[in-house]
Amino acid sequence: METGKRTKVKELLNSTAYGSEVTVKGWVRTFRNNQFIAVNDGSTINNIQAVVDFANTDEALLKRLTTGAAISITGELIESLGKGQKVEVKVKQLEILGDSDAEKFPLQPKKHSLEFLREIAHLRFRTNTFNAVFKVRHALAFAVHQFFNERGFVYLHTPIITASDAEGAGEMFRVTTLDFNNTPRTEGGDVDYKQDFFGRSTNLTVSGQLEGELAAMALGEIYTFGPTFRAENSNTTRHLAEFWMIEPEVAFADLGDNMQLAEDLLKYVIAHAIKNCADELEFLKNRLLEEEKLKPQDERSELDLMAKLNFCLDNNFERLTYTEAIEILRNSNPNKKKKFKYLIDSWGADLQSEHERYLVEKHFKKPVILTDYPKDIKSFYMRMNDDGKTVAAMDILFPGIGEIVGGSQREERLNLLEKRMGEMHIPAEELYWYLDTRRFGTAPHAGFGLGFERLVLFVTGMTNIRDVIPFPRAPKTAEF
């Protein structure tokens, strides 16, 4: 190893170059017995131990070795005599790069609750849990791009600021430069958006799907991977106001192709994380086991984290129709014994998370793809089935989480799409550009949306979606 050049902790922990001089830079995790410094530089969840000769080190310098302080150490890499590590550094030179006042630094070497860490989210990266979570998040994001790249998809950047509501749900953040204290009005008293920056009402995107379809109908296969925004006042462990979405759109694909693509993607990225984040997932598995011990027996998961991930890799996803699912749920024990919070009594009910989880975890014991939902509970762009009652939609349900993917074959027939938009009061004239794909060379096509944070939540075993995005945005939460 090059003398004087910083070597990452991850590299040193795997090294056997005993006797060589190394330089480590990082942050103090703990300093005990006035001689053992645990140093972490973020390159791995594991620390390296540095041993300082306290008898021959300035006492004032030793006092500055507090949790959180940034240091630079040069010393000899030696075989460790202690348990748990193969190597350690015998310190020759020690420099404090940045002090950390132990009285004021909120992260001390003890177990902190995730609620507490959410309150100091700007510092939570420095804990093992969040080191692991964001390493896994990175691996999953990298694998998503790799998967689509290997299959010849084009990565498309769809706009963040849009004039359309792709979902028709109306829960959008408005984008404007108008002065709220002196808003221009039309003669009718409405806000005059003609005087706004874009000359019309605009908002933050809820989905890149509609724009993605435009490109798919020329480039064949595209995907988006970007931030989306929902102004839904949901204070739950599964909702964020700003989150990331992966949305492929594929020309000449039907619902079957769409299901297969989604299953292949999920298996690919989970396998990538297992292969590339072994230490992190082992840590998160143990963390989850500790957390589960505090729960009543009936609320504990039957599978540990690694078993749950392999459960998704080892099983072909079960495909069944919404109609079949309703029958299973209606005749299930929790429904008959009124254990479900939302009882299933008739066809047309919107399935809740408890129903989705029952199908996956109790009934089939494998991931489930539900298809052919009633048209009334799905979006306007989904392809009408021949029965006139259901649409060619599909949702993928995972253990512990419920819906992780939602998609459909898109309605490519202009007359049926226009009719559906009319029924759902979606202004066709504003979406002329979307309808043009059906006017000029329409073709069957399909796509889906995968909420990236839901995926990270599943793979890390975390239980709150605010803990798998670096800076969560939720109602009354936008600190940084």
Can you give the pLDDT of all 480 residues of the chain as single tens digits? 555 689 999 999 999 999 999 999 999 999 999 999 999 999 999 999 999 999 999 999 999 999 999 999 999 999 998 777 899 999 999 999 999 999 999 998 888 999 999 989 999 999 999 999 999 999 999 999 999 999 999 999 999 999 876 565 568 999 999 999 999 999 999 999 999 999 999 999 999 999 999 999 999 999 999 999 999 887 788 789 999 999 999 999 999 999 999 999 999 999 999 999 999 999 999 999 988 888 887 777 778 999 999 989 999 999 999 999 999 999 999 999 999 999 999 999 999 989 999 999 999 989 999 999 999 999 999 999 999 999 999 999 998 888 999 999 999 999 999 999 999 988 888 899 999 999 999 999 999 999 999 999 999 999 999 999 999 998 888 877
The residue type at 83: K
The residue type at 365: K
- Compute the chain's Rg from CA coordinates: 27
pLDDT for the residue 81: 81
pLDDT for the residue 236: 80
pLDDT for the residue 31: 95
Alpha helices in 173-321 (DSSP H): 209-219, 255-276, 278-293, 305-314
Q: Are 194 and 141 in contact (CB under 8 A)?
A: no
Q: Can you give the length of the chain in residues?
A: 480
Q: Are 215 and 239 in contact (CB under 8 A)?
A: no
pLDDT for the residue 166: 59
Element (H, E) at 140: helix 128-150
Pick from 466, 460, 134, 142: nearest CA to 283: 460
The residue type at 303: L
pLDDT for the residue 293: 86
Q: Are 12 and 24 in contact (CB under 8 A)?
A: yes
pLDDT for the residue 165: 63
195-226 burial by CB neighbour count: b if 16+ within 10 A, else e?
ebeeeeebbbbbbbbbbbbbbbbeebbbbbbb
Element (H, E) at 330: helix 322-330
Q: Using DSSP bridges, classify how beta strands 318-321 and 368-374 pair: parallel, antiparallel or unpaired.
A: parallel
Q: Are 44 and 60 in contact (CB under 8 A)?
A: no
The 318-321 sheet, strands edge to edge: 154-155, 221-229, 242-251, 445-451, 402-409, 390-398, 368-374, 318-321
Element (H, E) at 141: helix 128-150
Q: At what angle do helices 305-314 and 452-460 cross, to 10 degrees?
A: 120
Q: Coil, helix or strand for 240?
A: coil
Domains identified in the chain and CATH numbers = 9-98 (2.40.50.140), 126-171+206-467 (3.30.930.10)
The whole-angstrom separation of Cα 295 and Cα 222 is 43
The whole-angstrom separation of Cα 282 and Cα 279 is 5
Pick from 301, 360, 352, 355: nearest CA to 331: 355
The residue type at 296: P
Q: Are 198 and 159 in contact (CB under 8 A)?
A: no
pLDDT for the residue 358: 94
